[in-house]
């Protein structure tokens, strides 16, 4: 069994900070940031926190799913992934449930950092396989601007705010999941409650270059699929150089690896659902498409999942 997308939505704050804006207080340049990361700008949320942004993205995803007659009461579960929750109790997912009227769903929040969306998706599919649910709403929502140390040029240039949401239903097609964690390397990217994010950029970079191709190969093995049978590889948008290195290492066709990091920066758990929503709204997701998603980040955590349309 695997998951099939039936609705997508996203929310991006109107305020945009391009790289030039950051040079107002940081010793950096548009050229350096573009060259080392591929990022040109990021959205910044001054008004909505993770909960508010999650709700906006969720409403749009439900509206999209509604075109096929899907209703909020049909949701079996709601999962919200965030490393920047603005409320801890009740779970953001329960707030979303209340606002949507998804009375039959069970709901909770997940923190698996930038791997959150992939982990939550794989978990949702496991629940589908167990017969517990048929459909789930999975949301990634991040106000990273709140925890970024804006005086640290080695990390702040990467991150942005936003939310993405995907409604996924069970499909009988064969699926597979891969998820890994390495808590012993957790110091590479950390943030205490109320504190600011610190990162060993090179360590995270090396980790991603090794683990992302590895986890995609592992998933393909489990699926018994060849790379050529996959229509799209959806990679967590962390750094364009990481994405390009993965393309090179796996010998992928770059047309099959869509990116939006230039406009979004790294939005952690929101990066994949925002990308999926953009593709959907651009008419680039066709029925029957086979897609592999790969996420990686703090924890350290990394994983891959198989999803269809």
249 binds ligand UT7 (CB under 6 A): no
Residue window 209-248: x/- pattern of binding to ligand UT7, with contact defined by CB under 6 A: -----------------------------xx---------
How buried is 222 (Cβ within 10 angstroms: 0-12 exposed, 13-18 middle, 19+ buried)? middle
Give least dist CB 45 to ligand UT7, A.
18
**Distinct helix (H) and strand (E) counts, the chain:** 9, 13
* Spatial contact of 160 and 103, defined as CB atoms under 8 Å apart: no
204 binds ligand UT7 (CB under 6 A): yes
205 binds ligand UT7 (CB under 6 A): yes
Segment interacting with ligand UT7, rule: CB under 6 A, options 139-147, 202-210, 217-225, 300-308: 202-210
Give least dist CB 161 to ligand UT7, A.
14
Which residues inside 50-79 make contact with ligand UT7, applying CB under 6 A? none
Helix or strand (DSSP H, E) at 140: strand 135-143
Nearest to ligand UT7 of 152, 173 (CB atom): 152
Q: How far is CA 1 from CA 64, 126, 223, in A?
A: 23, 9, 11
The number of residues in the chain equals 309
Segment interacting with ligand UT7, rule: CB under 6 A, options 4-12, 103-111, 136-144, 153-161: 153-161
Residue window 85-124: x/- pattern of binding to ligand UT7, with contact defined by CB under 6 A: -----------------------------x----------
Q: Where are the beta strands (DSSP E) in 156-309?
A: 161-171, 177-181, 189-190, 198-199, 232-235, 290-297, 301-308
Among 185, 201, 214, 244, binds ligand UT7 (CB under 6 A): 201
Tokens 């939550």, residue located: 120
Tokens 């910044």, residue located: 44
* Spatial contact of 290 and 178, defined as CB atoms under 8 Å apart: no
* Spatial contact of 230 and 289, defined as CB atoms under 8 Å apart: no
Nearest to ligand UT7 of 135, 269 (CB atom): 269
Catalytic residues: 114, 236, 266
């Amino acid at each position: 069994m695997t998951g099939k997308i039936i609705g997508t939505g996203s929310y991006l704050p109107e305020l945009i900070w391009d790289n030039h804006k950051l040079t107002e207080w940081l010793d950096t340049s548009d050229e350096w940031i573009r060259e080392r990361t591929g990022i040109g700008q990021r959205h910044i949320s001054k008004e909505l926190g993770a909960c508010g942004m999650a709700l906006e993205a969720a409403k749009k995803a439900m509206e999209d799913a509604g075109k096929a007659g899907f209703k909020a009461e049909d949701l079996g579960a709601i999962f919200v992934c965030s490393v920047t929750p603005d409320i801890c109790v009740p779970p953001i997912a329960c707030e979303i449930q209340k606002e949507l009227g998804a009375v039959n769903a069970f709901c909770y929040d997940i923190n698996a950092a930038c791997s959150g969306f992939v982990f939550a998706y794989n978990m949702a599919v496991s629940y589908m396989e167990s017969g517990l649910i048929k459909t789930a709403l999975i949301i990634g929502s991040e106000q990273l601007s709140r925890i970024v140390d804006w005086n640290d040029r080695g990390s702040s240039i990467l991150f942005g705010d936003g939310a993405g949401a995907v409604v996924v239903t069970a499909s009988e097609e064969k699926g597979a999941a891969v998820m890994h964690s390495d808590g012993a390397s957790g110091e590479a990217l950390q943030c205490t409650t109320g504190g600011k994010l610190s990162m060993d950029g090179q360590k995270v970079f090396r980790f991603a270059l090794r683990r992302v191709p590895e986890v995609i190969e592992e998933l393909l093995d489990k699926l018994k699929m060849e790379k050529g049978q996959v229509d799209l590889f959806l990679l967590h948008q962390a750094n364009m150089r990481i994405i390009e290195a993965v393309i090179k290492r796996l010998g992928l066709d770059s047309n099959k690896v869509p990116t939006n990091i230039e406009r979004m920066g790294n939005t952690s758990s929101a990066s994949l659902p925002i990308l999926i929503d953009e593709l959907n709204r651009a008419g680039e997701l066709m029925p029957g498409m086979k897609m592999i998603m790969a996420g990686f980040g703090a924890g350290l955590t990394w994983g891959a999942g198989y999803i269809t349309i």
